[in-house]
């Protein structure tokens, strides 16, 4: 059994990722690798195809979506890949000021991916979702395509920062949130991690802090340990219980 499961990590964008992956296995850490573009998803799938502790998603990060034809073409490719993949992410919407110019294309891309998953249902599928100032729209879109209530589909809201009403919808739908140490230093993040049922809570790192820079396996482990310590403090539950439950949930979702 893995001690930790990092449910949102850009492992493919860490320098010397193959060596880092090997070291993570030695430390009993499994990873949901969440690429940011369809092309990088294919590369990561090839890079880690023999790593039994790593699952690679099909990604179309909203920050990498450009307004216009180029963004539309990327979205189409992402939808085609997502249609057959049990692991999808990082996908989502970002309505923050820095990304409003591409918001319409983001929404079109997200809808295309959701439509593809709806048209090609799988018995098990996991999504890692980015939702900044747009959690309600993400939830509405998932609901529209019948993905929020699909028995075999597990949406995970990574570094969740939506409203308390959004959190209620996530909880009632049986979806998940994944938390990292940076989320847990915010007042809202701490409260959400405190009230979310432990069975719907996961650990993540969102590593590396800078894409394509070095970040060792020991750094990923330290981030997970820190997040676990913070959860233990704010939830007032035994550390071993939180560690075991988050790991078991991650193992179940990633079918490790």
Using 70 as the pLDDT threshold, list the residues of the chain that sit under it.
67-68
Per-residue 3-state assignment (H helix, E strand, C coil) for 27-61: CCEEEEECCCCHHHHHHHHHHCCCCCCEEECECCC
pLDDT at 68: 65
How buried is 164 (Cβ within 10 angstroms: 0-12 exposed, 13-18 middle, 19+ buried)?
A: exposed
pLDDT at 150: 82
Predicted TM-score (pTM) of this structure: 0.97
pLDDT at 73: 86
DSSP reduced 3-state for 114: helix
pLDDT at 1: 85
Q: Which residue has the tokens 């650990």?
A: 203
Instruction: Classify residue 146 by its DSSP letter.
Output: T
pLDDT at 67: 66
Domain that residue 184 falls in: 4-254
* Number of independent structural domains in the chain: 1
pLDDT at 35: 98
Virtual CA dihedral for 223, 229, 232, 233, nearest 10 degrees?
A: -120
**CA distance readout (Å), 129 to 2, 32, 68, 94, 155:** 23, 12, 23, 10, 7
pLDDT at 203: 99
Q: In whole angstroms, what is the distance from residue 139 CA to residue 11 CA? A: 27
pLDDT at 70: 75
pLDDT at 114: 97
Q: In whole angstroms, what is the distance from residue 109 CA to residue 106 CA? A: 5
Residues 119, 83 contacting (CB under 8 angstroms):
yes
CATH number of the domain that 239 lies in? Answer: 3.20.20.140
pLDDT at 240: 98
Give strand ranges (E) for 181-237. 201-203
């Amino acid at each position: 059994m893995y001690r930790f499961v990092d449910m949102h990590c850009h492992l493919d964008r860490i320098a010397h990722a193959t060596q880092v992956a090997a070291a993570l296995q030695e430390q009993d850490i499994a990873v949901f690798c969440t690429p940011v573009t369809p092309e990088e998803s294919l590369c990561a799938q090839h890079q880690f195809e023999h790593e039994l502790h790593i699952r690679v998603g099909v990604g179309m990060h909203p920050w990498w979506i450009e307004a216009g034809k180029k963004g539309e073409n990327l979205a189409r490719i992402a939808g085609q890949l997502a249609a057959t993949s049990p692991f999808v992410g990082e996908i989502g919407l970002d309505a923050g000021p820095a990304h409003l110019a591409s918001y319409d294309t983001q929404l079109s891309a997200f809808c295309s991916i959701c439509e593809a998953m709806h048209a090609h249902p799988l018995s098990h599928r996991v999504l890692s979702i980015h939702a900044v100032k747009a959690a309600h729209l993400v939830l509405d879109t998932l609901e529209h395509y019948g993905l929020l209530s699909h028995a075999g589909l597990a949406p995970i809201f990574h570094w969740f920062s939506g409203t308390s009403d959004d959190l209620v919808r996530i909880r009632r739908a049986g979806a998940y949130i994944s938390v990292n140490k940076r989320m847990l230093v915010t007042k809202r993040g701490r409260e959400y991690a405190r009230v979310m049922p432990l069975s719907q809570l996961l650990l993540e790192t969102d590593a590396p802090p800078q894409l394509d820079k070095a970040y060792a396996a020991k750094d990923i482990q330290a981030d997970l340990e820190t997040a676990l310590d913070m959860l233990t403090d704010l939830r007032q539950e035994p550390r071993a219980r939180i560690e075991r439950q988050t790991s078991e949930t991650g193992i179940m979702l990633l079918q490790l």
